[in-house]
Amino acid sequence: MAVRAAVLPAIGAPLEITGIELPDPGPGRVRVRLAAAGVCHSDLSLSDGTMRVPVPAVLGHEGAGTVVAVGEGVTHVSPGSPVVLNWAPSCGGCHACALGEVWLCANALNGAADVHARTADGTDLHPGLNVAAFAEETVVAASCVLPLPDGVPLVDAALLGCAVLTGYGAVHHSARVRSGETVAVFGVGGVGLATLQSARIAGASRIIAVDVSPGKEELARAAGATDFVLASDHTPREIRGLTGKQGVDVAVECVGRAVSIRAAWESTRRGGRTTVVGIGGKDQQVTFNALELFHWGRTLSGCVYGNSDPARDVPLLAEHVREGRLDLSLLVTDRITLEEIPTAFANMLAGKGGRAVVVF
């Protein structure tokens, strides 16, 4: 039986909503009926070629749903199990995995080259980032599904698979924010909102949200921001003014643009930490001179998937949800259909809203 999906026929082409035929789950595979799928900026980056994947492809990598069927050898989930999709499963055998840095697994995206499904005319389709969540149902490797702990609404749980793991990990694993420190978060989208909440959970004393849209202020404050700064050429100066002329202990950049990365760096105090979460294009060049690197003594680091281990961190995040410390629904600013994904892409480009979620 065909299921509806959003298919990217070619890089730069519009998404097509069409029926696709999924195979039965073979050994080590799981079929999942999606409850919801978040629309992440990475999906936009895949569609426009900033990030390269084999096409045609079914996009979508942030989702949650219910197991329909399992193949031979799958024991950690069974039909009826609620699950979160994990788009970057670790292989356990590469150099990064051996070091315990599973978020840098060399083989995490190998599945993106596989044939995932076919269109009605027999065209092979690939899973954009392993899990092909922009579809009513998907078939994935068993390592791509994590059991959803109790107490997390299934639709909201979709955000655990990318935005929340990334934002929480940026604060707790990459920047390692300590209680009482000051934090600035650049970009109040889905990941930015998760980062703001995570900074609050970490006990940050001052949390400054930065965005190009003044309409984001109310949302940012609801997520934990104590201050809101409208992005401009003077942003670093304004942030230093809010922090005794020192700058913040930690700045987290969630946009992926050279200008905001540079602003985050300049907003960080001497000896502080700047963490870059946003995925930018190769044309986004950031420059530093040798003297400033020495003088400021700052740490600048990239952050992949929140430097997270999903198997370890999803249960931890679920506990924060159950205890009321983490509000997943706050991140969802639009509930949409498959047909409305292009509108969600346009809103992201315009800097509008937090996270749009396709609800099936």
**CATH classification of the domain holding 225:** 3.40.50.720
Token pair listed for 134? 């922009």
Number of domains in the chain: 2
- % of the chain surpassing 70 pLDDT: 100
Residues 8 and 152 in one domain: yes
Residue 314 lies in a domain: no
Residues 132 and 226 in one domain: no
Residues 50 and 145 in one domain: yes
Residue 315 lies in a domain: no
Question: Of 316, 338, 313, nearest to 162 (Cα)?
Answer: 313
Residues 64 and 140 in one domain: yes
* Segment 106-122, tens digit of pLDDT: 999 999 889 999 998 99
Residue 230 lies in a domain: yes
In single-letter form, the type of residue at position 24 comes to: D
Residues 55 and 134 in one domain: yes
CATH classification at residue 102: 3.90.180.10
Residues 132 and 187 in one domain: no
Residue 128 lies in a domain: yes
Residues 10 and 138 in one domain: yes
pLDDT above 90: residue 16: yes
Q: Is the link from the previous residue into 56 a cis peptide, with omega within 30 of 0? A: yes
Residues 181 and 103 in one domain: no
276 three-state secondary structure:
strand
Residue 27 lies in a domain: yes
Average pLDDT over every residue of 42-63: 90
Residues 38 and 182 in one domain: no
Average pLDDT over every residue of 258-277: 98
Which residue range(s) make up the domain with 256? 167-304
Sorting pLDDT into bands at 50, 70 and 90, what band is 1? low
Residues 335 and 285 in one domain: no
Cα separation, 147 vs 77, in Å, equals: 7
Residue 312 lies in a domain: no
Q: Mean pLDDT across the chain, nearest whole number?
A: 95
Residue 319 lies in a domain: no
Give the pLDDT score at 78. Answer: 97
DSSP 340: G
Residues 176 and 209 in one domain: yes
- % of the chain surpassing 90 pLDDT: 88
pLDDT above 90: residue 347: no
Question: Of 215, 216, 196, nearest to 206 (Cα)?
Answer: 196
Residues 11 and 155 in one domain: yes
Residue 41 lies in a domain: yes
Phi-psi sector, 208: left (phi>0), alpha (psi -120 to 50), beta: beta
pLDDT above 90: residue 45: no
